[in-house]
Structure 1
Amino acid sequence: MDRASLYSRYNGLQKTDASFVVDNYLRLVKWRSDEVVLDVGSGDGDVLFDVLLPEIPHDFAKLVGTDVSEEMVDFARSRYKSDKIDFVALDISSASILPEFHDFFDHIFSFYCLHWVVEQRQAMKNMFDMLKPGGEILVTFLASNPIYDVYERMAKSNKWCSYMTNLKRYISPYHHSENPETELEDILKKEGFLIRVCRMEDRTYTFPSFSVMAKSAEAVNPFIKKIPENEIGNYIEDYLNEVKNLETITIETTNNDNNNNEEKIHVPYKLFVAVASKPV
């Protein structure tokens, strides 16, 4: 399965929220000439090229997109070519960063990546260390999402539990937190950041149909790669049934022009947005 190609076709949620954050928070970022920019968790490169790049000053010196997945990095490199842009493999939660990246970047962005990172302190430390003095971060990621409840339910079933191991690594560290904003603020402060914004936004994304939701789930679900090919269809069917059973998710049934029923799925969730800087 070409996960990168599938993700590039079914990443509407990620691009929608990235656009929301860029539209509402990028104005808080201060720019100079010839700056070096990092995008953490750039995935297939769509958000970087379609959402971020058109909104930043064109006189930047270098833009580096990173992802922990070599497949995503290769896909982005093959799809987007520019003398000023490159993609490299990088684990933002690694115990050490590349020496050449230390005090290297003027700005660090991250869209829909950091909820995958269990080692939040290490990730924030690495971004702090990679910033030049006076450099800034603008990051957004999931604080909570009912889809994580679906993962937890399915992981308890005898049918799928053997495939859904290490569940904690695939659920936002803040999903069950009582005070997620305070928790994130404490981490940023302890790593040395000066915080301008740290808040949660209440968001809702509407999937136009269960078929689109199924493809979107297949593109990002971390357990799919562990499931035998002939069982993936059954897994996705059970996944959608669990979605239908969640009280937090609203399903809207309407008639289309052909007099057939259509179901839209409204998923509410909480999105972190943080803007912070490294002291000069």
Structure 2
Amino acid sequence: MLVLPERYYKIMVNPEQYVSLDNMSKRNVSHIINEFAKDLKNISGKCMDVGCGPGDITRDILLSALNSKATMIGTDIMENMIEYANKTYGDKERLEFEVLDIQTKNLPEKYISEFDHIFSFHALQWCSDIRQTFENIYCMLRPGKTMLILSVAQYAAFFESLESMAQDIRYASYMGDKKKYVGPFHYSARPREDLKELLEDIGFQVHHCSHREISNCMSTEKFMSFVTAQYTFAFLDKMPHNLREEFKNEFTRMYTEINVKEYRDRQGYSKLHDEEKETDISSAFFILVAYAQKNVS
């Protein structure tokens, strides 16, 4: 059984260390921002970043891609992330951070029809009510204004390992509904089409919608440190220490097992090369990217 060192688990829910591990997210976001640079550079109004985390990407990548007159509100469900973001990256003129559950059925009135553009990167895969999520985004946009999102669509090694853990009698009472741990499009046979149809049904005009494969080159150790700092893993704080460590080791083992199998299938190898370690090989997953506009009427 694969057991990772104790030091690896002490990173959990620490915004500063979260920032130190989010290079993969930064690369993905930078790539998408560059792709849509022509559409973004003239945006000069009020914007929101949904699922902003500690706020580094919001300030350093998103805000800098917009017109210098644009302002930004970063929102996240994690209070400690928002507190850190305001202290570290907030300013009175262009950038502030607030707590918001994007799946809420009671959207604060102050957000309705207030925004010229809304971003969301690597966050919406955790929304079990994806329709409510996009309806809220639609409501927050002003007529004719736009959103750009990147969400993880399918990630077998991650989602399916976590889903299995939620069905394990040892952890189920802490984790709750297993559906919370699988992206809303993970089991879809046509994720791009399903997302596009959903957005159009809500009222968006979809200018771009794509389904893409990308690689995660982080070691398993760093990846697990990064993802367990997210809100989805808040249940770990409720577990006794020994059960928490057992969960993390078992989750890592299952993730690695599926990842190795998929890696071998992709490479056509029956075995890993001698120099390759199971915890260091890259993993492949799929994302959805959408750029859409709220109807004027």
Per the alignment, residue 125 of structure 1 pairs with 135
Counterpart check, 1:70 vs 2:70: no
Q: More deviation in 63-72 or 227-236?
A: 227-236
Deviation, structure 1 residue 94: 1.0
Structure 1 position 274 matched with structure 2 position 295: no
Letter in 2 for 1:226: K
Which residue in the other structure is 2:280 paired with? Answer: 264
Shift of 1:21: 1.3
Task: Count matched residues.
Answer: 272
Q: Provide the C-alpha distance between the structure 1 equivalents of 2:146 and 2:203, rounded to a whole number of angstroms.
A: 12
More strand by percentage: 1
Contact 1:254 1:263 in 2 (8 A): no
Moved more, 157-166 or 265-274: 157-166
2:201 is equivalent to residue 190 of structure 1: yes
Q: What corresponds to 1:230 in structure 2? A: 242
SS across alignment from 1:8: helix
Task: Give the 3-state SS of the residue equivalent to 1:238 in structure 2.
Answer: helix
- Alpha-carbon separation, structure 1, partners of 2:41 and 2:25: 24
- Going from structure 1 to structure 2, the CA distance change for 1:8 and 1:252 (only over 3 Å counts) comes to farther
CA contact (8 A) 2:154 2:186 kept: yes
Measured after TM superposition, the shift of residue 13 of structure 1 is 2.9
TM-score (norm 1): 0.88
Partner of 1:14 in structure 2? 25
Aligned with 1:148 (options 159, 162, 180): 159
Q: 2:206 is aligned with what amino acid? A: I
Deviations, residues 145-165 of structure 1 (Å, cap 9, x unaligned): 120011123233344333332
1:18-67 deviation line (CA, Å, top 9, x unaligned): 1221122333346254x11111111110211222122222121x211111
SS at match of 2:173: coil
The answer to whether the Cα contact below 8 Å between 1:76 and 1:87 also exists between their aligned partners in 2 is yes
Equivalent residues of 1:243, 1:249 under 8 A apart: no
1:252–1:264 Cα contact (<8 Å) kept:
no
Match status 1:248 vs 2:262: yes
> Which blocks of at least 5 consecutive residues in structure 2 are unaligned?
1-11, 265-271
2:58 to 48, 52, 63: 48
TM-score normalised according to structure 2 size = 0.83
User: Retained in 1: the 8 A contact 2:206–2:292?
Assistant: yes
In structure 1, how many angstroms separate the alpha carbons of the residues matched to 2:167 and 2:179? 13
Structure 1 window deviating more from structure 2 (156-165 vs 241-250): it is 156-165
